[in-house]
Amino acid sequence: MDKVAPGSVNWKFANRPPIKLPFRKVENCNQVLKIGKEIKFSLVNIAGHDIVQGNKKLILAFLWQLMRYNILQLLKNLRFHSNGKEITDNDILLWANKKVKDSGRQSQMGSFKDRSLSSGIFFVNLLSAVEPRVVNWSLVTKGEKDEEKQMNASYIISVARKLGCSIFLLPEDIMEVNQKMMLTLTASIMYWHLKRPTSYSLDADNSSLCETSSISTSDDSASESSIDDSGTR
């Protein structure tokens, strides 16, 4: 909590490990929930003892809000984009669609639960839009069969991590179009794109990003043309 919302934790009242007494654990969890409410989390019917007892459903609901808050805070800190205003889910959706359209691709997503996202093609196009050199189009499938969707989803996660995006999802989340995870993935790509250096190269050996003056993109441009938005080669 202190990393996501710096200064929010009152360490004077925090019990540090090893913690043997259960009520001390509850005290820590109660402070976590108190902070959550202060930063406008929706916390209904959850108490500190629910976390201590390992209530999976309630813990996951809290972690989702924490993860989303963290990403939106990162986006909000980009003053040149947000101008001090909170970035909404719709802002992220519009940004992603515009990036793909501006790159010359036709695929769009109607919402973060758009079933067409299961093919992975839209996110491959989005990654290519923010960094054309990072996508190897020979590894992209049509995304029609389950096996093809699995391959695309795994590749999307691999490419996003290569860029340095914060990734919280699994290939299955893309294949099943997990709405919350689709938002998280898109926001992570958006954040990376907005904060990246103006010029850099992709290090093929260690997948790191290094500053450089110029890079030829002719190879990727050629291979990119071998597959269209629907996955047709």
Q: What is the DSSP string of 201-221?
A: EE-TTT--EE--S----HHHH
| Overall number of domains in the chain | 2
What does the alpha-carbon distance between residue 208 and residue 154 come to, in Å, rounded to a whole number?
Answer: 19
Instruction: Give the separation between CA 180 and CA 91, rounded to whole angstroms.
Output: 15
pLDDT at 25 over 50: yes
Q: Residues 95, 199: one domain?
A: yes
Q: Model-level pTM?
A: 0.65
Average pLDDT, the chain: 84
H runs (alpha helix) in the chain: 22-38, 48-52, 56-76, 79-82, 89-102, 121-130, 146-163, 171-175, 179-195, 218-224
Q: Output 54 or 84, whichever has higher pLDDT.
A: 54
Q: Examine the fold and report which residue of 76, 96, 117 is the final residue of a domain before the chain moves on.
A: 76
- Residue 205 pLDDT: 35
Which is more confident, 194 or 151? 151
Residue 14 has pLDDT above 60, yes or no: yes
Cis peptide before 6 (omega within 30 of 0): no
- Structural domain of 44: 11-76
User: Is 64 within 8 Å of 87 (Cβ atoms)?
Assistant: no
**Residue 133 sits in a domain of what CATH number?**
1.10.418.10
Span 181-193, average pLDDT: 91
In this structure, is the dihedral angle defined by the CA atoms of residues 174, 90, 164 and 142, taken in order, positive or negative?
A: positive
**Are 202 and 120 within one domain?**
yes
Residue 15 has pLDDT above 90, yes or no: yes
* 105 band by pLDDT with thresholds 50, 70 and 90: very high
135 in the same domain as 105: yes
Q: How confident is the model at residue 198 (pLDDT cuts 50, 70, 90)?
A: low
Say if residue 68 is in the same domain as residue 99. no
pLDDT at position 81: 60
CB 133 within 8 A of CB 215: yes
